[in-house]
Structure 1
Amino acid sequence: MTPVFSHGDLRLYLLNLLDEAPRHGYDIMQALSDRTGGTYTPSAGTVYPRLAKLEEEGLVTKTVDGRKTVYSITDAGRAEVTARKGELEGIEANLADSVRLIADEVRGSVREAMKSLQADLAAAARQERETAQRPAPVDDARARSREQLHRADAAVNDFRIRVRSDLRTHVARGGELATDTVDAIVNELDRIARDVTRALRG
């Protein structure tokens, strides 16, 4: 996966976050995760050394507030943010693209899973009809039906697991799960269920 921040961008973005307001370390990490839609969740080992470097450069100061260390931008740091405003706009645009990309990936995964389920259920229905048309002992027909039932069950369970995993991963990364996306999933599943019912009755 392409890095969310190019070389040097994270340093500038940290300054930008502190230009908005003083923050403690965890707040900075959470803000980075939120603003990248969960595509980037930095570790303490990534953030704190950069904050220490910014402090050495005189761009950031830190104060201890109880158990928390709060970082604040200095006048020199604020001047750098102002001077590099154009670069920050480019970084913000890249972050917005990353959020859109992960949302598109989730929607694409849901669509592919639905197509796969439709294909599996349609194949099972066709095979069921073909089996019913061939003369065979009652016991053999029932055995084949049970076999196909297991196959259909497996397809439905596989679909459920895949979609649930994609949705949970998306939300866990901080991505937004829009109402219209869920409505589309519910409506599509309802349509598939009706198609299956018609196929079995036909």
Structure 2
Amino acid sequence: MLAEHLRELALLNRGLDLSLTDRRGPAGDRSERFHFPGGARDFVALLDGEGVTPVHPDVIGFECEDPRMAGTLEVALRWRDCAGERVRGFANSRATAYGTHLEGLRDGVAAALDAYARTADPVEPAAAPGAPAPVGPTPIGPELVGEGLTAVVSVKLDHPEFEGSIRDVLGNHPVRACVAEAVREHLGAWLEEHPERAAAVVARILRGARRS
């Protein structure tokens, strides 16, 4: 448990270089080092693990400061060609079950993907035999973007507001808009710069929408 906690801290704070030594065993000391220069990008790669087929090989990530929420934010994300989602949120290096930072992540991802899909007009999956053809592009809302998504959103705030019975929900209201705007801007730029990978991501989202 201690090793897992130190690993998480090192992933969320790229400047940290931590080590843990167990001196209890008769065979001598056992040590493990925790240092991740890639920060949240490394966290996403670790969550995906081995044997996962990514829709795009690179992990999309960025970090920025926003005075409107009196803090900084770091986001990393990648889609994979399998079901389910792995989305993790943190506030001041503390794991959160829900909150405005996670809402902002989904809002921003949906806005960027929907805008790109409408302007790029990617080919949508074919309708089933006998089914009516879809009219216009499928809207991409926050409820659709999680399928196949691995993501980490970490905010560091001067005055975090934790809510819920065990204080695991972030309640700072300005955070949602700040995270959403930053994600929309940075993910939107990545989509424009990598049209082939962007088309693969949008197609992945639309396949999940057709199945739901």
Give the TM-score of the pair, scaled to structure 2. 0.24
For the pair shown, which has the larger CA radius of gyration, 1 or 2?
1
Task: Please state which structure has a larger fraction of its residues in strand.
Answer: 2
Give the TM-score of the pair, scaled to structure 1. 0.25
